[in-house]
Amino acid sequence: MAILDTVSSPSDLKKLSEQQLEQLAGEIRQFLIDQVSVTGGHLGPNLGVVELTIALHRVFDSPRDAIVFDTSHQSYVHKILTGRASQFGTLRQKGGLSGYTDRGESEHDWTESSHASASISVVDGLAKAFALKGQSHRNAVAVVGDGALTGGMCWEALNNLSADKERNAVVIVNDNGRSYSPTIGGFSENLSKIRTQHGYDELMEQGKKRLKSLGWVGERAFDALHAVKEGVKSTVIPTEMFPDLGMKYVGPVNGHDLEALDHALTYARDYEGPIMVHVVTEKGHGFEPAVNEPNDQMHSTGAIDPVTGVPIGVDQPGWTAAFSEEIIAAGEAREDIVAITAAMAGPTGLTPFAQRFPDRFFDVGIAEQHALTSASGLAMAGLHPVVALYSTFLNRGFDQLLMDIGLLRLPVTLVLDRSGVTGSDGPSHNGVWDMAISTIVPGIQVAAPRDGTRLRELFREAIAIDHGPTVVRFPKGDLLEDQEPLDTLADGVDILHYSDNKDDSSADVLIVSVGAMSARSLAAAQMLEEDGLNVTVIDPRWVAPVAQSVVALAADHDLVVTVEDGTIRGGVGSLISEALGSAEVDTPHRRLAFPSFYPKHASRGQLLEDVGLAPDGMAEQINQWVSTIVNAHNELND
């Protein structure tokens, strides 16, 4: 019987011998490879923390002791050890297991946001609460990657955490030299320096050989020496990392050595006050394709071959790839184009630009706020920065966009990948807020391309604007089929469809389709025409500011409907309502958009269908609105 089959809670780990624990680690690693190769998910990060997570749950008493995983994409082993192994076939699928910690799944999950660098702040608050409630026996533990420590929020939290020597807070730095990509900056270089200081380890190895050569007496002596190993090491190296914080430091510890981890974490658990444990791990450990993947595609993967790691299925041209080609072309044409990303050069398509123009590419680490304000400085000096982020991470840089870029009317272009409903990564990775957030910045111009051709056009238009910030946002996944316009109006609005055989007795409906919703809008329009309505479908291309032709067309129709994959509150529909009101256009306006709630993990199509944004759902809702308007009109005439 497999050891894994006997483990359904952290308490089961305490019954296992060292040999059984080693076997369990191997079984978990193979389980992860087998399961994630089918469903997709964060494989590399979880393979790297197998032993660390086992040790955490052996030493600490979860959930009494709070274990908080930063970002929590590396929580799969935690889920397995807390009784959820049988659910892994549903990982990241609708109604199934989340790819991150989820408070609704288990009492062992304390958080569920997938945004990095927040765990130490959470632990700071938990430790304060435990102390105030007189629960000095409880520990709060943050498991944070070295990549997340490039985020300023971590340092704000450490500054506060280290000020109170009475609170039991443990910060475990999971140091594998990578975030989504290799960790950058002075902090990373400092960690690397610590990792390579082998003088202490070499002495330990020499001592081990000499003592064990003396037989069982020597082995006993070595065991005693090993038991104090981490305490000794904490006095040897700590000043290299946190000279001014005053936190106790233990490390570096081999993150794949269960015995070493047990000693270090036990010391940390029993220590009174804040303490940092520096654990060195290998991302993808135990699966050669993940360890040797140069572009870190095993960080988050789709379905793969469980032996070779080769992706299953043929990749179609994607939005990210189209942007990647276009920014290289822009860089070749203009020397003032520079690119910035926040630890995600590969996922945002900037790696080829970095290879082509290394001096004009800047990876600032997981620091979106700094990325945007640094871009403002670049723009002040006469360059045109392109900041490529996942849409969900724009949330973190809003103040900088509003005050450091927008207020100064600086020419900075934000390219937001994974905008709108993204699906399987769950609520905190969805990009449904970007249009609501960005369009309230005075003077900003926001573009939403519907296909690859429009992405290229709109990006070129965006970087040509020199009097203020611009945004180009597009969804996750494969490019949609190009939808060529029937006509393009003077202010750039595309007419995608209008009813050829217009029935003057039928209601005229104007659908304002935003970005990648065009195919759905056109399909809904066909259904509406079959129901006897006259339908015009337009794509504004630039959704902010609202084009005057949109207002003029609205005045010529009986109903205006905006369709967008962003949140309904404060989105493009809100902008158009304001524009119609200002122009005193009284055409009824209705909005089809994502409701104001946090969407759970499921596919993009499933989530859109659930909220009425599939073509049939859109058509049904529009028919109901038309009926209501017609009935109200008839009653008024009667």
The residues that are catalytic are 283, 368, 396
Spatial distance between the Cα atoms of 506 and 520, rounded to a whole number of angstroms: 22
Any binding-site annotation on 176? yes
Any binding-site annotation on 466? no
Any binding-site annotation on 116? yes
Please say whether the dihedral angle defined by the alpha carbons of residues 311, 316, 319 and 321, taken in this order, is positive or negative. positive
* CA distances, 285 to each of 176, 212, 252, 288 (Å): 10, 29, 18, 7
Is 428 exposed, middle or buried, given 0-12, 13-18 or 19+ CB atoms closer than 10 A?
middle
Q: Which two tokens stand for residue 562?
A: 């905006």
Spatial distance between the Cα atoms of 95 and 610, rounded to a whole number of angstroms: 13
Among residues 389, 414, 543, the alpha carbon closest in space to that of 470 is found at: 414
Eight-class DSSP state of 478: B
The answer to whether the beta carbons of residues 194 and 188 sit under 8 Å apart is no
Any binding-site annotation on 146? yes
Give the DSSP H/E element, type plus range, for residue 278.
strand 275-280
The answer to whether the beta carbons of residues 584 and 551 sit under 8 Å apart is no
Partner residues linked to 169 by β-bridges: 140
Spatial distance between the Cα atoms of 373 and 385, rounded to a whole number of angstroms: 11
The answer to whether the beta carbons of residues 343 and 185 sit under 8 Å apart is no
Spatial distance between the Cα atoms of 373 and 396, rounded to a whole number of angstroms: 12
Any binding-site annotation on 368? yes
Q: Which two tokens stand for residue 396?
A: 């973190």
Partner residues linked to 446 by β-bridges: 471, 544
User: What are the residues whose beta carbons fall under 8 Å from the beta carbon of 561, sequence distance 6 or more?
Assistant: 509, 510, 511, 512, 589, 590, 591, 592, 622, 625
Any binding-site annotation on 148? yes
Cis amide linkage into residue 274, ω under 30° from 0: no
The answer to whether the beta carbons of residues 54 and 62 sit under 8 Å apart is no
Spatial distance between the Cα atoms of 398 and 127, rounded to a whole number of angstroms: 29
Q: Residues annotated as binding site for Mg(2+)?
A: 146, 176
Q: Residues annotated as binding site?
A: 73, 114-116, 146-148, 176, 287, 368
Q: Residues annotated as binding site for thiamine diphosphate?
A: 73, 114-116, 147-148, 176, 287, 368
